[in-house]
Chain A
Amino acid sequence: MSHYPLNPDLFSEDVKQEPIRAGFGRGLKAAGEQNNQVIALCADLTDSTQMSLFKESFPGRFIEIGVAEQNLVTVASGLARAGKIPFVSSYAAFSPGRNWEQIRTTIALNNQPVKIVGSHAGLYTGADGATHQMLEDLALMRVLPNMVVLAPGDSIEAEKATRAMAESNQPNYIRVAREKTPIFSTNESPFEIGKAYVLREGSEISLFGTGAMTHKLLVAAKILSEKGIEAEVVHVPTIKPLDNEVIIASVRKTGRALSAEEAQIAGGLGGAIAELLGETLPTPLKRLGMQDRFGESGKPDELFDYFGLTAEKMADQIVDFVQNTSQYHRDY
């Protein structure tokens, strides 16, 4: 296991918190400083998607599209044809929610390096309710050939991921959340597109988290340890391409797998891991996330509790899973 430096305060009550989208905003500005071909397009949500930092620094490279998400991505496709590296942002419910076909045809099949930023994704969108809590974006983007799918775990990683996107010559999707979430990584922590990282070693179950769920899994693992269960925590910020090697190596060691995402369990991280294990190393697997249902209005804490996705509630489900499932894996 390569060393992954964790924030030493990550279990503290007053762990530093910041919205993941803030890291995106900083990363985009940094990418813009590094490469003058980086441009930004927004659909009337410049402040809330944190593109404003880029806009203030490079007004000539910012394009306001208006509330027109289909046009947002297709104009970006044309700009990419002209040699630009366009970042396009809106709420994930609208982009890629509304404009999926345009993304499929003019970006994925057309293989243009457009960078799609889905802000306000997942349950953290809270009070806005089910219409705006995008839970299907990971699935929608993961099935597209050529598309890279990222869900960074905190704002520090989001900044690194955004800079990596600017250097990728493929179409990319990144999901970022609205609310403040705990920072578990450090400036020194590694990030590379396509890599998963073992944050905590364990022997009895592998816990795979993506986005801000990884912090909750780290807390859950601490609770489990107090109950005598040693869980391995693997952070999976790239859902496509999946880091098969790290995931398989972890599961081979622990014989049980669990995924956690604030998204539908079908098609996203849980779906990807189920496919991988089903085809290469059948292993008992539990998928935590949204169980084929929509969210509703409420504070994020209330929603995570209601849907069983707090660290405490996940720990309970993991105990149950570990106690009732034997460690097993089988090579073909």
Chain B
Amino acid sequence: MSGQLTITQLQQKANDIREDIIRMLEAAGSGHSAGPLGMADIITALYFNIMNIDPKNPEWEDRDLFFLSNGHTVPVQYAAMAEAGYFDTEELITLRKFGSRLQGHPERERLPGLENTSGPLGSGLSQAAGYAYSLQYLDDQKHRFVYVMMGDGELDEGNIWEAAMFAGKYKLSQLIAFVDRNNIQIDGSTEDVMPLEDLRGKWESFGWHVLEIDGHNIESVIDAASTGRAITNRPTVIIAHTIPGKGVPFMEYDYHWHGIAPNSDQAKEALIKLRTLDGKITHEGQGVEAS
């Protein structure tokens, strides 16, 4: 999708997506809150600016691709897809319900526009790398890019580092990975559960170009992706520092919100906070305009 939206409009779109997430999770009665809220700005930037996609033609042969590796955060992808026009936003509240195309974890065959099936952690980077290998070495399609989102806790998985070695070896320059660096996982802080630092050094030593950004600054997300596309001799990983539960003050930074959904009172409060924003989504000099 070409970038017709201004940064301000993108920020508003990210906020719409956050509201969608709260409504979806409340209706579902289960699911993950913190990750999807924290990733909303990155996913918005991808679906509304960075990626060359056609929501009305999800199998468009010239499209860029998005692979979600941390499948439990799929509410943010569903919300972005609906807002982008892949399907009606009314369908969002069917999340996790019987008969829904919006499975608790994403299943490619259920919903056009999904590129992979994920949930068990650690395998999305490989799938994205396989596709990127095909574009670079088998199909000679240099104009297409493969984006993949990973959680930071997910980096505990060995499969990720197998894929990191593979992408480094083959210099998969059309592969651009995001790490949602929110510092939490189910059992607590990532550095307590299984330390990831020096995370930048790890990726660099595997042959990747590493960028670190504020994952809530949409302009930075767009710039980083642009840099990633311009680097033609290595894959790029964007370590996006985010706040889990971003936008809902009582969820922010709290790992207990990793794997639970808000009840109706909590959802009501969350929606009020999101509508007023309390200044939290904004960044210096580029706040969301009051509407």
Contact = CB atoms under 8 A, between A and B. Distances in A.
A66 to B, nearest CB: 7
Interface in B103-130: 107-109, 115-120, 122-123, 126-130
Contact of A68 (B131, B135, B162): B162
A111 interface: yes
Nearest to B169: A66
A101 interface: yes
Contacts of A105: 117-120, 123
Nearest to B117: A110
Interface residues of A, number: 28
- Residues of A contacting B: mostly: helix
B116 A79 contact: no
A82 B159 contact: no
Given A60-B137, A61-B138, A78 B165 contact: no
Nearest to A108: B117
B289 interface: no
A109 B134 contact: no
Nearest to B71: A105
B122 A77 contact: no
Contact of B128 (A61, A78, A80, A83): A78
Contacts of A109: 107, 117
Interface string A63-77: 101101011001111
A46 interface: no
A74 B139 CA distance: 19
A186 interface: no
Given A65-B166, A75-B166, A78-B126, A70 B158 contact: yes
B163 interface: yes
A78 B127 contact: yes
Interface residues of B, number: 32
A76 B165 CA distance: 15
Contacts of A102: 120, 123, 126, 159
Nearest to B137: A60
Contacts of A71: 126, 159, 162-163, 165-166
A61 B137 CA distance: 9
B133 A63 contact: yes
B47 to A, nearest CB: 19
A165 interface: no
Contact of B131 (A39, A63, A79, A111): A79
Contacts of A83: 134
A81 interface: yes
A116 B110 CA distance: 24
B123 A70 contact: yes
A102 B166 CA distance: 17
A165 B107 CA distance: 24
Identify which of B116, B130, B166 gathers the most chain A CB atoms within 10 Å of its CB: B130
Nearest to B105: A105
Identify which of B67, B135, B159 gathers the most chain A CB atoms within 10 Å of its CB: B159
B289 to A, nearest CB: 40
Contact of B127 (A68, A74, A84): A74
Contacts of B131: 78-79, 81-82
B263 to A, nearest CB: 31
Contacts of A110: 107-109, 116-117
A203 interface: no
A106 interface: yes
A76 B127 CA distance: 7
Identify which of B119, B135, B166 gathers the most chain A CB atoms within 10 Å of its CB: B166
A70 B157 CA distance: 11
Contacts of B137: 60
Contacts of A70: 122-123, 126, 158-159, 162
A77 B165 CA distance: 17
Contact of B109 (A61, A78, A79, A111): A111
Contacts of A65: 166
Given A68-B166, A110-B108, A74 B138 contact: no
Nearest to B128: A78
A116 to B, nearest CB: 14
Nearest to A84: B134
Nearest to B65: A81
Contacts of B135: 82
Nearest to A101: B120
B123 A82 contact: no
A323 B67 CA distance: 61
Interface in A180-224: none
Contacts of B118: 105-106
B120 A77 contact: no
Interface string B27-40: 00000000000000
A134 to B, nearest CB: 21
Nearest to B109: A111
A74 B123 CA distance: 6
Contacts of A66: 162, 165-166, 169
Contacts of A101: 120
Interface string A38-66: 01000000000000000000001101011
B124 to A, nearest CB: 8
Given A60-B137, A79-B134, 17 more contacts: A60-B138, A63-B133, A68-B165, A70-B159, A75-B129, A76-B130, A77-B116, A78-B116, A78-B133, A81-B115, A82-B135, A105-B119, A105-B123, A106-B117, A109-B107, A110-B116, A110-B117
14 contacts: A66-B165, A68-B166, A70-B123, A70-B158, A70-B159, A77-B127, A79-B131, A81-B131, A82-B130, A82-B131, A82-B134, A84-B138, A102-B120, A102-B159
Which 5 residue pairs of A and B lie closest in terms of their CB atoms, listed nearest first?
A: A78-B130, A74-B126, A71-B162, A82-B134, A78-B127
